Amino acid sequence: MDTAVVVFTRDLRVHDHPALSAAARADAVVPLFVFDDGILAGPFNRPNRTGFLLESLTDLHESLVGLGGRLVVRRGDWVAEVAAAAAAVGARSVHVSDDVSPFARRRIEALRAAAGVTVEVHPGVNVVEPLAVTPNGKDHFQVFTPYHNRWQATPRRSLLGVPAAIAVPDAEVGIDLPRLADLVAGDRSPAVAPGGETAGRAALTAFVRERLAGYGDRHDDLPGDATSRIAPYLRFGCLSPLDVLHTVAGRPGAEPFVRQLCWRDFYAQCLVARPRAAWADYRTRGDDWNDDPAAFAAWTAGLTGYPVVDAAMRQLRQEGFVHNRARMITASFLTKDLYLDWRLGARWFLDWLVDGEIANNNLNWQWTAGTGTDTNPHRIFNPTVQGQRFDPDGDYVRRYVPELASVAGGAVHEPWNLPPLERALLDYPEPIVDHRAAIAEYKDRQADLSARRRAADADANAG
């Protein structure tokens, strides 16, 4: 009997799953998930994501039961556990989805090297596989627009359906699904999205029905919350990005939305080509960041005195999610107004975001900080102007910053301009920095850094 193993990683679905479909062609298949002790012991095992993962695994198990199978769960060293499961059932092949983070890629390579297992790596995490398209003479696209043009013209694989049936050999028994408290200390955010393919497909359906047509005009509307909120489901593969593309194709609003999906693939290919960019500057300017723990603490707590920044930071803790515009505003505030290292912000986001993952998080952080694919040092967000523009009536701020709930309309973005008596009644801090002064200082530093780089280049050329 031909038996195969399919190892689920962050592809927790049964629709459009190339690795699952390939494994399902064998006589019997072990659908396996391994809780990797390396991840569980690491800094990114956080309640919001691990809770979402557990719900997604429960949902996946139920889907597999509906196909006549079940999910086999193990825990330990990922490579050793996968190899042991394959050996226990005499499997000839192990199927796994390709991935982009340095950690995931090393893990797959280690599995390939493990004796006795033929590892077949499949697409499924991205629409266009990283590095499937490259510009002439370069190893990856460093600029988004040319990548987007090529991405649009790249032929896609066919969309796959759900396998008709999954026959799991009796021999292979795993452990029961652990409880959250067995895996990680701490609580999830109170308003976090539910995990699982079923919830993800429902979220996508609701978005297509209610908000896709207006996406182009409204995606930056902070209080309107008019984006899809499917990022967590893409993060854990509860939705296939290709399936999402097929679902929206040809509908009003699809074009600007699909462009955003392309950013996800863009950063994936950047990270695969430059694994060091996970935590090192993609393009370094030689920044000498401030060391200011008090300012960082105020930022994390949402107590900077800039209402829209504080609303974003409160939304992060409350929902494990932040609107994209608000992510950019608050990241700009950390790296430009406070001139704090983008890595501090990226780590904090990864502590809380359900959709948090290295490629999208860290390279978006670098984009905002000016160390990434876009090094324009003049891309600076004025937090007050951004608030007034994208939250003109102040509803986003009041939703997340209860201390400002009594301030009506757009005045909420400038508490310092309120009548003194009204201001005095608010339990809300003064701005921790003056935006104008902070940005003037930031620009001086950048001018100085550019001059030093030019001098160093001149020296190098002369030498």
Ligand X SMILES: Cc1cc2nc3c(=O)[nH]c(=O)nc-3n(C[C@H](O)[C@H](O)[C@H](O)COP(=O)(O)OP(=O)(O)OC[C@H]3O[C@@H](n4cnc5c(N)ncnc54)[C@H](O)[C@@H]3O)c2cc1C
Residues at the interface with ligand X (CB under 6 A): 219, 227-231, 234-235, 260-261, 263-264, 267, 324, 327-328, 331, 349, 353, 355-357, 360-361, 364-365, 368
Helix (H, G, I), strand (E, B) or coil at 408: coil
Around 416, how many Cα atoms within 13 Å sit in the side-chain half-sphere? 12
Shortest separation between residue 43's beta carbon and ligand X, angstroms:
15
Shortest separation between residue 58's beta carbon and ligand X, angstroms:
22
* Residue placing its CB nearer to ligand X in the complex, 61 or 327: 327
Shortest separation between residue 409's beta carbon and ligand X, angstroms:
26
Nearest Cα neighbor of 36 from 111, 97, 144 is: 111
* Residue placing its CB nearer to ligand X in the complex, 3 or 9: 9
Structure tokens belonging to residue 313:
């930071």
* Residue placing its CB nearer to ligand X in the complex, 78 or 349: 349
Report d(CA 402, CA 253) in Å as an integer. Answer: 34
Shortest separation between residue 305's beta carbon and ligand X, angstroms:
21
* Residue placing its CB nearer to ligand X in the complex, 79 or 254: 254
Helix (H, G, I), strand (E, B) or coil at 404: helix
Contacting residues for 226 by C-beta, under 8 A, at least 6 apart: 211, 214, 215, 218, 219
* Residue placing its CB nearer to ligand X in the complex, 96 or 322: 322
* Residue placing its CB nearer to ligand X in the complex, 63 or 366: 366
DSSP assignment of 206-272 equals HHHHHTGGGHHHHTT-TTTT-S---HHHHHTTSS-HHHHHHHHTTSTTHHHHHHHHHHHHHHHHHHH
Contact 429, 304 (CB under 8 A): yes
Shortest separation between residue 301's beta carbon and ligand X, angstroms:
18
Shortest separation between residue 264's beta carbon and ligand X, angstroms:
4
Shortest separation between residue 362's beta carbon and ligand X, angstroms:
8
Structure tokens belonging to residue 34:
């391994």
Instruction: Determine the angle formed by the axes of helices 307-319 and 293-301, rounding to 10 degrees.
Output: 70
Contacting residues for 395 by C-beta, under 8 A, at least 6 apart: 223
* Residue placing its CB nearer to ligand X in the complex, 324 or 388: 324
Around 149, how many Cα atoms within 13 Å sit in the side-chain half-sphere? 5
Shortest separation between residue 165's beta carbon and ligand X, angstroms:
32
Shortest separation between residue 388's beta carbon and ligand X, angstroms:
20
Burial per residue of 311-342, b for 16 or more beta-carbon CB atoms within 10 angstroms, e otherwise? bbbbbbbbbbbbbebbbbbbbbbbbbbbbbbb
* Residue placing its CB nearer to ligand X in the complex, 93 or 332: 332
* Residue placing its CB nearer to ligand X in the complex, 144 or 442: 144
